[in-house]
Chain A
């Protein structure tokens, strides 16, 4: 063991395979650099005053007492921002959002004023000194009432708007679907709610904005999953030239989709810095994070499934009411107002499918797309996997066998779904079989049978999901007009060490390690010798960032492509060095050798040095060893998986305990299996948390009832079982290294498995469906035959 702080030599694969993370050394020592760790000379601190009302007209704001506070440097209100034309900002969904309220407040926790002070305590003190007079208005809380003719119009800032409708959207073939339903032996229906939850990264959102009045350059350290997109949006919002904006996403303490969009606090920090001429730090607290930043889900779904009597699924028909809150801030490709919900046909071979989605405004915070949803695939998978279980319930069939019967077959890939998605590859039956064997499914059913006879409640839940990740083809997918292709740049230094610059932004997913491994695999140099640079818009190529599990599909592909371009150039350099035709060279991992003369070879290191030397290079070959690329993916990648959850339910209290959870994921080629498994573990914990504990409910006045960790519960060590993982490998045929995304799979696939298990356990009580979260109260009430609505504090 060394004593120098350098980790001892371990077996590190030159390429794909499990290896310890390069990131860990700084994190285990407390040497990461997160936004709140950033300290600049003269830095001031900002704090946001928030609305106590869900819906109220702003009558007046008196900031004089706050301004008089000796440590306060600035107090910003909506009126201040109006003067700068900054009181509203564009969202990622072609809507606008109030930065600081000017006319009225539209959700509890909305930003009303911003104080800049010498320290964070003083800033908070000064918030208390601001006097705001509100005239309360009736709020719209229940999405089902949002389109009532007498519902108050929330968005009266938009000229001509007379209701709370955000959009209507549909996909699939309505006539064909109706026809299938008319002919089917069996039609089952079920209402279900995917309740409003929150990604709650352990680090909240924050920024340090530094406007240099001399150079005119704005630098923003920020919790951003998409720093380049943020830079462009700052340019559009603030009217600053883009080359004078530098966005730096340092280490991020988890994102989970919470840190994709721009929040009013960031803009306020920028304004605060412009007004004071000093750097301004704004870091929200947990309550602010939960109450005002991007929520997830809130889909009220009505599913119908048509089948023949033997359990052959024929069609799916779905209606969704989507609660978007007061501003449509959904972070998703702009042509997809309901994200990729269109993949709701799941893993099954149907004759027809149709769905329609209506989005509505309510007096709640904006958001919707977050928390590892892959643009609404969480909702899509939950819908279809619950519906299949409801069908199994009604037909008296085993839910695993019913799935087996209906899964797409390997020979059907690439498969064009009835809603137009082209699944790239899959061997679903094998993956389901692997999971059922690992879970000892048949033994579990036998055990359940025995225990039911004793009055014990044991449930087994299965879910099989198909994900769609890696947005996406430029032609179809853009965010705020920015095409979803991502850049990569690779430069090999003269001494053979390399630097890879990426547009994506890790928030813990291990990019610094795995992207170095991709380069290592392609060039045969150690991952330790590849520095991965990301997060600094001055230093990295343009791209749209990390969310939707798109890093591996898009930037992973870009990385393999640039490495291959470097290799192609290295071949030309090597041919000059060895004085042979490039076609006579053979690539062996890490070197080019002359065909038939393996002793005549040059390593990538030697080639790198030569490329920087006085060596005569062939016509058209410039010196140096580098390449760049913009990767425009031809399609998404479609990872999939089979999950089995086993629960015990206490018949006296309704308490659910997850006893076992088996997850078999197939994400194609695994770059670093250790990291893939860690991603899955985390996602499974999300799933258990959502299924059993998490909801952001509201009372009839629009009060947020999940505004802190006292009420908004996250799973601890005690709620999570030891996960049992398996895998199959079905590579993506269109991806340069056959890898699919995976980060969100477990969050997408697991909630249905847990709910299916609990509903299965409650079969003796005649329970057919229960809405999440399955808290003891919800389960107990269901056992009493008195179901509880989980999203409203109205029983």
Chain B
């Protein structure tokens, strides 16, 4: 089947098999390898992208279902080379280690922030429940999303990938580890 999908602002028209998964179309046909695959049962969320502004697990969507749609991947978030506040917050808060869950985690965080621009810890955790991470134990991810929310306010509306004006005011600081007690 011939499909046209706009990915990260560029229109692509391709012939695909109906059974081709969106994630494979993105990775193998369009070279968008920033989006990765971590499981085969739709549990891990590593392949999360935005399909017409909503997060989806791209391993559970057929490429043909995305015909005529707009897809945003992790590779489409930075503008003019500048990181999106969520990307920046992940970096500042050490919210990634191996980096494999990170693209999906960031895309899901954006979706979460568009639903709830100022989530508390519990809301962040609930919003990211569909995204597995093996490295971080989640805590720094929660911290990063909450910090990103502060940097994005106001402006974390439905089109969350379009960064808010307050971005430039983002103050990046070295993380302050949650160490307590003991002797340095």
Which A residues lie at the B interface, using CB under 8 A? Answer: 1-5, 7-8, 10-11, 18-21, 23-32, 34, 36-37, 39, 119-121, 200-204, 251-254, 256, 285-287, 430-431, 434-435, 437-438, 507-510, 664, 673-675, 677-685, 708-710, 714, 716-718, 720, 722-729
Would A681 and B100 be within 8 Å (CB), given that A4-B81, A18-B175, A673-B177 are in contact?
no
Tell whether, in the assembled complex, residue B96 and residue A27 are in contact, meaning their CB atoms are under 8 Å apart. yes
> With a CB–CB cut-off of 8 A, which chain A residues contact B80?
3, 5
**Nearest chain-B residue to A714 (Cβ)?**
B132
**Total contacting residues, chain B, CB less than 8 A:** 77
Tell whether, in the assembled complex, residue A203 and residue B36 are in contact, meaning their CB atoms are under 8 Å apart. yes
**Nearest chain-B residue to A17 (Cβ)?**
B174
Q: Interface code B68-111, partner A: CB below 8 Å = 1, 0 otherwise?
A: 00000111011011110001101110101111111100100000
**Nearest chain-B residue to A11 (Cβ)?**
B174
**Nearest chain-B residue to A687 (Cβ)?**
B137
Can you sample 20 A-B contacts with CB below 8 Å?
A: A3-B81, A5-B82, A8-B172, A23-B99, A32-B34, A34-B100, A36-B37, A121-B19, A203-B98, A251-B99, A254-B97, A286-B40, A674-B94, A677-B179, A685-B138, A710-B41, A722-B142, A724-B180, A729-B183, A729-B184
**Nearest chain-A residue to B38 (Cβ)?**
A202
Bound CA span A24–B73, Å:
17
Tell whether, in the assembled complex, residue A202 and residue B41 are in contact, meaning their CB atoms are under 8 Å apart. no
A10-B174, A681-B140 given. 8 additional CB < 8 A pairs?
A36-B27, A202-B44, A202-B133, A254-B135, A716-B128, A726-B179, A728-B183, A729-B182
Choose one: A1, A30, A251; the contact of B82 (CB below 8 Å).
Answer: A1
Most buried by A among B46, B88, B132: B132
Tell whether, in the assembled complex, residue A28 and residue B40 are in contact, meaning their CB atoms are under 8 Å apart. no
Bound CA span A200–B134, Å:
8
> With a CB–CB cut-off of 8 A, which chain A residues contact B142?
717, 722
Choose one: A24, A39, A119; the contact of B90 (CB below 8 Å).
Answer: A24
**Nearest chain-A residue to B91 (Cβ)?**
A24
Q: How far is the CB of A189 from chain B (nearest CB, A)?
A: 35
> With a CB–CB cut-off of 8 A, which chain B residues contact A254?
97-98, 100, 134-135
Q: How far is the CB of A244 from chain B (nearest CB, A)?
A: 29
Q: How far is the CB of A735 from chain B (nearest CB, A)?
A: 18
**Nearest chain-A residue to B21 (Cβ)?**
A121
Bound CA span A20–B91, Å:
7
**Nearest chain-A residue to B76 (Cβ)?**
A30
CB of B136 within 8 Å of the partner chain: yes
Would A253 and B98 be within 8 Å (CB), given that A437-B181, A674-B177 are in contact?
yes
> With a CB–CB cut-off of 8 A, which chain B residues contact A10?
172-174
Bound CA span A384–B18, Å:
56
Tell whether, in the assembled complex, residue A718 and residue B91 are in contact, meaning their CB atoms are under 8 Å apart. no
CB of B20 within 8 Å of the partner chain: yes
Tell whether, in the assembled complex, residue A37 and residue B33 are in contact, meaning their CB atoms are under 8 Å apart. yes
**Nearest chain-A residue to B32 (Cβ)?**
A30
> With a CB–CB cut-off of 8 A, which chain A residues contact B128?
716-717
Would A708 and B41 be within 8 Å (CB), given that A5-B78, A121-B17 are in contact?
yes
> With a CB–CB cut-off of 8 A, which chain B residues contact A11?
174
Tell whether, in the assembled complex, residue A121 and residue B20 are in contact, meaning their CB atoms are under 8 Å apart. yes
**Nearest chain-A residue to B17 (Cβ)?**
A121
CB of B129 within 8 Å of the partner chain: yes
> With a CB–CB cut-off of 8 A, which chain B residues contact A725?
177-180
Bound CA span A726–B39, Å:
34
> With a CB–CB cut-off of 8 A, which chain B residues contact A684?
137
